[in-house]
Chain A
Amino acid sequence: MKEVVQGIPLNYYLALSTVLFSIGVLGVLFRRNAIIILMCVELMLNSVNLLLVAFSAFHGDAKAQVFVFFIMIVAAAEVAVGLALMVLIYRNIKSLDIDFLNKLKW
């Protein structure tokens, strides 16, 4: 498996991660739909995971992969809670547009 990963130069992984992360950030910033924002957050997390795995393989150190598992678990938990919230929000206001969620303010 290590050879497969190392078959591609490290720079490519870096570039891919950067692109994925940027897409995630831009999605979070510019989309209005809460589900899409959540997916973009997942995208950001996974771009980091990819980077960690790549570095781990090239560096010959398994510690980073442990980190990846933690991130996946946390992300799964976060998605479960996040989606549950979405369901409830939708039932109440029949929409997932974050611009409608502006009641909590000064």
Chain B
Amino acid sequence: MKEIAWLLPALPLAGFIINGLGRKYIPKTLAGIIGSATVLGAFIIGIMLFMQVHETQQGQVLNYYRWLSVGSLVVDLGLYVDQLSAWMILIITGIGFLIHVYSMGYMSHDEGHNKFFAYLNLFVFFMLVLVMGSNYPMMFIGWEGVGLCSYLLIGFWNTNTNYNNAAKKAFVMNRIGDLGFLLGMFMIYYNFGSLDYNTVFAKVAGFEINSPVLVAIALLLFVGAMGKSAQLPLYTWLPDAMAGPTPVSALIHAATMVTAGIYMIVRSNIIYTLAPHAQDVVMVVGLATSIFAAVIGLKQNDIKKVLAYSTVSQLGLMFMALGVGAYSSAMFHVTTHAFFKALLFLGSGSVIHAMGGEQDMRFMGGLKKKLPITFITFLLGTLAICGIPPLSGFFSKDEILLNAFMASPVIWSLAVISSLITTIYMLRLLFVTFYGKFRGTHEQEHHLHESPASMTIPLVILCILAVFGGLLNVPEIFGGNAWAHHYFSGMIISTGEEHGHHVSHATEFILMGVMLTLIAAAFVVLRNKYITKGAVPEKDEEMTGFTKLIGNKFMVDEIYDFFIVKPAYLMSSALYYVAELKFIDLIVNAIGDGIVGLGRIFRRLQTGNIGFYIFTMVLSIVAILVFKYFVV
């Protein structure tokens, strides 16, 4: 295992170096092939590792190099291959490969094609480091690296100032979260004397439940997760991140990077299990984010923005699952979400490609016939995210809802509301975009075409995954054996409390029934509104009251702007005009002027008279001798 595991991150890195250095010389097709092939190679190695892990059912630490050894702090460049990292590797490289292939079609007309592939490969590399590292610093390296790649790719079309601002926003928001992560790491090292997963978790096990140290560490790490996984209150960067090319949104901002926070919590699951107070916070934040983002998603008209808020909402749902201790359910939802959300993003990319860059769904409509493959895959993706059985989303969401119900019926009902809203905005998106009459310009209508094969094939594969992904974890109630749940059970340390009250099968069926009835009702109402009556979302200026508030995303950006950004600017300009100009500049200039003034005086000594020079020289030597022998 050790011989091949290092190749996994090394391959995408090699792809990055080749494409990055040779971006001016390598032809576009070759760059795309290099980029995709390295990720495919990593995927194949990933499958080999997965097989081994599945067979042995235990993790393995592979140390390659001792990076730091300062006092008692030892950090190895080590990889940790266990159930969780092998699972994440397959998601990252598998979906990553499909998205690389898709990008070959999507970015084919772009000048920065080769640069794009270099960045994508770099991202895959860092993401693999993140999930494969054997200690927190390695995770942090990957964590920062994916943040960097996210920044580079959001601002990929860097001639547009708005896009650059979106990239900066993502970067700064993530830094806030990273501070929490860093502080969490400091606390871990301070209390446990190590940063290696195995050492830390072994020591954590000796602590009492809810001891302040564990709660503090769990909360600080969760702050990091909030930033990376776009939870309240640090979520605003993710919708703006849609400025990047669509494959980026699919890969980084839906399937992989934003799930890093969930990965981190599942990785540290013993800390959270032993800190129920922190778990409650995770649960509440997740649930609040889930509902809040879903509500905003109801009134967005940019096709990618809807999906972005949907992602935030789904991530919230996953955090809620983590909060109630359902780690394997959260990972299962990460997986199915990666399938259907990547599919939806790539589908929306296909639509945008066909529409020549138009993203506002009010100017789309009736695309069903023009883009048949995109339509069918998008339809199935939508049904999957809505939770229609037997698509993948149904199983993963149902499991989360069931776990929520076991924790408390109140949590369950709120989660159901969130899921219902998800259904509503996704169906709205589907109906407005693909049904009805075409509402764009004649030119666009003439231009409409199905995307090339390099884009539709990934769509079809992802669609198959989104449809059948649920089979990974069919619950016992449907005669399945909850395979994924058992797969993860080896690395999730349970206190045995969360399974205290089991629900009967009858209750399970009732819960499913309630959810499905609500979805069906939503379907009928929306179908009536958008297809039968052909309603089109109102223009921005026609929105009123509460609708307008939602359409404006609850003014969160404006609030942050007013309370944080503006004061920060004010403070910095105050510091500039007062501290900088009136104090620091004065001191610095005074020193400079003083030295110039002294020079003006003393340069008179340079008379040009050689006799004088010699005279002073001799006199000085005599003075030195006198000083040396008679004074000291």
Contact = CB atoms under 8 A, between A and B. Distances in A.
Interface of A: 25, 28-29, 32, 37, 98-99, 101-106
B614 A28 contact: yes
Interface stretch (B11-19, B241-249, B298-306, B605-613): B605-613
Interface in B587-632: 603-604, 606-611, 614-615, 618
Contacts of B611: 29, 32, 98-99
Contact of B618 (A29, A101, A105, A106): A29
Contacts of A103: 608
A15 B226 CA distance: 90
A37 B603 CA distance: 26
B615 A106 contact: no
B615 A102 contact: no
Contact of B610 (A25, A98, A106): A98
A25 B618 contact: yes
A25 to B, nearest CB: 6
Given A25-B618, A29-B614, A106-B607, 5 more contacts: A28-B614, A99-B610, A102-B609, A103-B608, A104-B608
A29 B615 contact: yes
B609 A106 contact: no
Contacts, number: 31
B373 to A, nearest CB: 84
A28 B610 CA distance: 11
Interface of B: 603-604, 606-611, 614-615, 618
B604 A106 contact: yes
Contacts of A25: 618
Given A106-B603, A106-B604, A99 B609 contact: yes
A106 B606 contact: yes
Contacts of B609: 99, 102, 105
Contacts of A98: 610-611
A105 B614 contact: no
16 contacts: A25-B618, A98-B610, A98-B611, A99-B609, A99-B611, A101-B608, A101-B610, A102-B607, A102-B609, A104-B608, A105-B607, A105-B608, A106-B603, A106-B604, A106-B607, A106-B608
Contacts of B615: 29
Nearest to B606: A106
A29 B606 CA distance: 18
A88 to B, nearest CB: 16
Interface class of chain B by DSSP: helix
B606 A28 contact: no
Contacts of A99: 609-611
Contacts of B604: 106
B377 to A, nearest CB: 83
A76 B606 CA distance: 30
Given A25-B618, A28-B618, A105 B610 contact: no
Nearest to A26: B618
A98 B614 CA distance: 11
B2 to A, nearest CB: 65
B366 to A, nearest CB: 86
Nearest to B603: A106
Nearest to A32: B611
Contact of B608 (A28, A37, A102): A102
Nearest to A104: B608
Nearest to B609: A102
A105 B609 CA distance: 8
Contacts of A105: 606-609
Closest 7 CB pairs of A and B: A105-B608, A102-B608, A98-B610, A106-B603, A106-B606, A105-B606, A102-B609
B179 to A, nearest CB: 56
Contacts of B614: 28-29, 37
A84 B67 CA distance: 62
A99 B608 CA distance: 9
Nearest to B608: A105
B200 to A, nearest CB: 68
B616 to A, nearest CB: 11
A103 B610 CA distance: 10
A22 to B, nearest CB: 11
Nearest to A103: B608
A99 B610 CA distance: 7
Given A25-B618, A29-B618, A102 B610 contact: yes
Contacts of A104: 608
Nearest to B604: A106
B336 to A, nearest CB: 82
A46 to B, nearest CB: 18
Contacts of B606: 105-106
A29 B614 CA distance: 7
A25 B622 CA distance: 11
A74 B212 CA distance: 79
Question: Which of A25, A32, A105 is the most central at the interface, judged by chain B CB atoms within 10 Å of its CB?
Answer: A105
A32 B33 CA distance: 84
Contacts of A28: 614, 618
A101 B611 CA distance: 10
Contacts of A37: 614
A105 B603 CA distance: 9
A102 B618 CA distance: 19
A101 B604 CA distance: 17
Nearest to B622: A25
A29 B608 CA distance: 16
B247 to A, nearest CB: 68
B603 to A, nearest CB: 4
